[in-house]
Amino acid sequence: MLLKDKIALVTGAGRGLGRAIAIAYARQGARVIAVSRTESELAATAAMIRGEGGRVDLLPLDLAQDAAVRQMVAHTLAAYGRVDVAVNNAGRLPRLTLEEMTMENFDRTMAVNLRAPVLTCKLLLPAMKAQGGGSIINVSSAAGVKGFLQETDYCASKFGLEGFSWALALEVQPYNIAVNVVTPGGGKTRVPIKPTSMTQAQFEALPETEKARWGDPIVMTECFVYLARQDGRGVTGRRFQANELSERIREEGWHLTP
């Protein structure tokens, strides 16, 4: 098992890519702390993990609130004394034009997509330094490098997350901590995954023909397992497309140098 006994924190783990990452980490032997706002979606993630003999803790929290982020980190450190891998995946995508968007909409998008990852990293940093290293993986989007219609707040949050990640990678490399950015997509085999804004309940209500359009994001999780194994002496300060790196791992093995 590639992540045996690692402590892995995964936000947005109730559905989609976050759920797939949590399952992949548990399959590789990690103890997963799965975080999401929707308790029923978290319960489904836990059932999948535990059904395969994996280990998972559930934290139903709304990461738009600083107090919830602090609770998440405090629980994890109190329970296990360390965090080896932190995946900041939780996000929101309201799809509003600037005219339609209220500043309350903007503040919530920035709180979930940018402020929560920044605060999570800030709170985890002393523990990661004390334990001698770790891996931080921030999930971005194509919206982190170019603009899209009806995504003014989302693009702003993802551009910010990417800039934060590059700066943080420089700061923490001396402490043997890796910081990398991953965006879904890339590769020879396109695997469209459900939009960030689509809940699991909304997905389940779709016709079967519509559901079939969306791929299972588990096929791009080798990328996240690979990066979870990195530290400041390995791959850090990089941006990867999840499909592309996962395909390379399947073709070349776990010891590739991307």
| 3-state class (DSSP) for residue 137 | strand
Note whether 24 and 246 are within 8 A (CB): no
Cα–Cα nearest to 138, from 108, 168, 174: 168
| Neighbour count for residue 31 (Cβ, 10 Å) | 21
DSSP code at position 216: P
Task: Single out the catalytic residue among 25, 80, 154, 226.
Answer: 154
How far apart CA 137 and CA 133 sit, in angstroms, is: 14
Q: What phi, psi does 149 have (nearest 5°)? A: -60, 145
Using alpha carbons only, give the angle 120, 122, 128 rounded to the nearest 5 degrees: 90
154 carries an active-site annotation: yes
The residue among 180, 221, 217 whose CA lies nearest residue 25 is 221
Closest CA to 71 of 6, 11, 133, 7: 11
> Catalytic residue numbers?
154
